[in-house]
Structure 1
Amino acid sequence: MTLIHQALLFDSPEQFLAAAVPFIIEGVHRGDTVLAVTSTGNTHLLRERLNGAADQVTFLEPAGWFDSPGRTLDAHHRRIDALAGDSAFLRVIGEPVWAGRDDLETSEWGRYESIVNVALADSRAWVMCGYDSSTLAGAILEDARRTHPRLAVGTASELSADFTDPASYYASRNTPLAPYPTGGVEWIPIHPDLAPVRQFVADHALRLGVAEVRIDDFVLAVNEIATNVLRHGGGSGEARMWATDRRVICEITDTGTATGNFLGFLRSDPHSERGHGLWIARQICDLLEMRTGPAGTTVRLHMRRSG
């Protein structure tokens, strides 16, 4: 059995429980690893309705689980890797966090929901994603139908007529990057000696508002992408840094063209010589944007500002 990825669209607690409780109970009886990553209210309702079975469920905070698209994919992989026995399954009932997201974050989390179908395709996992239709914007609900092959309806499951092939959905999200500001942008060339680039990132990230405890991580992520410039991007490029109200951004450009879909979202084979840098950068950064074409490649690494 391979991945099952469902959207649960509900407009009341009763509708949520009608699908979530049987889903969890079946998993507990099967001996599956069951995670509930739901809102505070729905977590309370689940604990009440599940009674003793709740002790066999791992309850997690949505803000921690849905922290960044790359880290959430990796969290799924790690839980699946830890399954005991060939018959074990990972079941996740989750409510992605949409409140407080800006347009870029909302778009990238929609991209994440679509990529789950590819990244976890051969995994022993059943992921049910809850969408509260009484509070969420219509565009988010429409996207849920586009990014989930199946819809949960009570204890039943039906195909989503609006499901979109992940490659097509991914391409639809590759709109032009927002222009960087005309002022307040720092710049450095990328040459074979990357020490100046690392120092550049360390100095400006702290000044622009990245928390001190995350500076080394940011330097590592940029170093991985700059290394790709040297190996695959023509041997030279540029790095720019600036800040928005919410994030600090390091943009790296080169003249090379990357090939393939879902770049950096698919976990690399440990024996492969390629693909690790983007995967690592997606784990470290809060968001990573990438655009590539005949004119070259641009990668933007975003880190939240502290405070």
Structure 2
Amino acid sequence: MNFIHQALVFDSAAAFLAAAVPFVTEGVHRGDSVVAVTSDENEALLREQIGADAERIIFLATSAWYDSPGRTLDAYHRRIDALPGTTGILRVLGQPIWTGRDTLETSEWGRYESVMNVALAESRAWIMCGYDSRSLPTAIVDDARRTHPTLAVGPQSEVSITYADPAFYYAEHNGPLAARPAHGVEQLVDFIDMAPVRQFVADHAVRLGVPADRLDDFTLAVNEIATNAIRHGAGRGEVRLWATDQRVICEIADTGGAPKKNGRNGFLGFLRSDPQAGQGHGLWIARQICDLLEMRTGADGTTVRLHMRRE
């Protein structure tokens, strides 16, 4: 089967169940791998409606599944890779978290929803993403119709007439990076090898708020991006660190352009590299480690910002 990515926009429990129940029960009866990642309320509704079939569904907490865009995408890959045989598929009834997200997080999760249509295009998966129009802002519900090619309407589906090509949607979200703060920015200018970069992170990251047990991972992510900066940025780059109320941000900048991957420059870091390839894994690794990753590239060079939640 071809990858299916649907939005389920619902305004009542009945509307949710009209699409969700046939979706999961068909999967159970076909022997698919069925996962439900919904609100506690909707999980209870599902369990009540489908009875004994609920024992054959994997129910996961939304807070764990929708932890960061990169890690969620990797979780899909891992479950798809683990599918037995050649006929079964992964069915996921999801309900992305939008409440409590700031503007940047909302933008990056929207980008993730769109990029999934490219990243999983060849996958044996059917993903139905729930959007509760009673509680979500209209802009987020409208955006769901732009990031999902089809809409679930009861047990049927229809084409979304406002669906946006992922490359176009991605470019829309590539606005200017937020200005760095006027004060409190640590910087290492003109690095040409990795040892000073790693030491720079060790000197400042925990003090700024990176949890101590995540320092090694954060250092690895910075190292991967800084290595790319040297390799593609005329052999040198710059690195800066600062903190906001919520996150520690590491910015790595160089004067080179981003390397192309399969001719699709804009999706770097969202498209999983061939495990057998000798290079091209840095951005993918950084997306798994960090809570958010921003990347902008142009004639003047490339800038990557790695975000880690503060403790």
Give yes or no for TM over 0.5: yes
- In structure 1, C-alpha distance between the alignment counterparts of 2:190 and 2:219, rounded to whole Å: 14
Q: Deviations over 1:188-228 (max 9, x none)?
A: 13533311211211221100111111111000000000110
- In structure 1, C-alpha distance between the alignment counterparts of 2:299 and 2:309, rounded to whole Å: 31
DSSP-derived class of the 2:241 partner: strand
- In structure 1, C-alpha distance between the alignment counterparts of 2:256 and 2:15, rounded to whole Å: 50
Partner of 1:131: 131
Instruction: For residue 49 of structure 1, report the CA deviation from its aligned partner.
Output: 1.0
Partner of 2:213: 213
TM-score between both structures, scaled by the size of structure 1:
0.98
Instruction: For residue 50 of structure 1, report the CA deviation from its aligned partner.
Output: 1.3
Partner of 1:107: 107
- In structure 2, C-alpha distance between the alignment counterparts of 1:229 and 1:140, rounded to whole Å: 35
Aligned-partner residue type, residue 298 of structure 1: T
**What are the residue-to-residue correspondences of 1:154-169 with 2, within 5 Å?**
154-169=154-169
DSSP-derived class of the 2:76 partner: helix
Structure 1 ranges of 4+ moved more than 6 A = none
Matched, 1:298 2:303: yes
Contact 1:206–1:215 (CA under 8 A) maintained in structure 2: yes
- In structure 2, C-alpha distance between the alignment counterparts of 1:129 and 1:233, rounded to whole Å: 39
- In structure 1, C-alpha distance between the alignment counterparts of 2:108 and 2:2, rounded to whole Å: 25
Q: Deviations over 1:83-131 (max 9, x none)?
A: 0000010000000000100000000000000000000000000000000
Partner of 2:244: 244
- In structure 2, C-alpha distance between the alignment counterparts of 1:159 and 1:274, rounded to whole Å: 38
**What are the residue-to-residue correspondences of 1:166-177 with 2, within 5 Å?**
166-177=166-177
Q: Which has the larger displacement, 226-235 or 103-112?
A: 226-235
**Unaligned stretches of 5+ residues in structure 2:** none
Contact 1:218–1:284 (CA under 8 A) maintained in structure 2: yes
Contact 2:193–2:230 (CA under 8 A) maintained in structure 1: no
TM-score between both structures, scaled by the size of structure 2:
0.97
DSSP-derived class of the 2:267 partner: coil
**What are the residue-to-residue correspondences of 1:1-307 with 2, within 5 Å?**
1-258=1-258, 259=260, 260-306=265-311
Q: How many residues matched?
A: 306
Aligned-partner residue type, residue 48 of structure 1: E
Aligned-partner residue type, residue 198 of structure 1: R
DSSP-derived class of the 2:266 partner: coil
Q: Which has the larger displacement, 169-178 or 196-205?
A: 196-205
**Unaligned stretches of 5+ residues in structure 1:** none
Q: Which has the larger displacement, 124-133 or 262-271?
A: 262-271
Q: Deviations over 1:161-185 (max 9, x none)?
A: 0000000000000000000001000
Q: Deviations over 1:20-73 (max 9, x none)?
A: 010000000000000000001001111111110000000000110000000000
- In structure 2, C-alpha distance between the alignment counterparts of 1:242 and 1:59, rounded to whole Å: 38
Alignment root-mean-square deviation, CA: 0.8
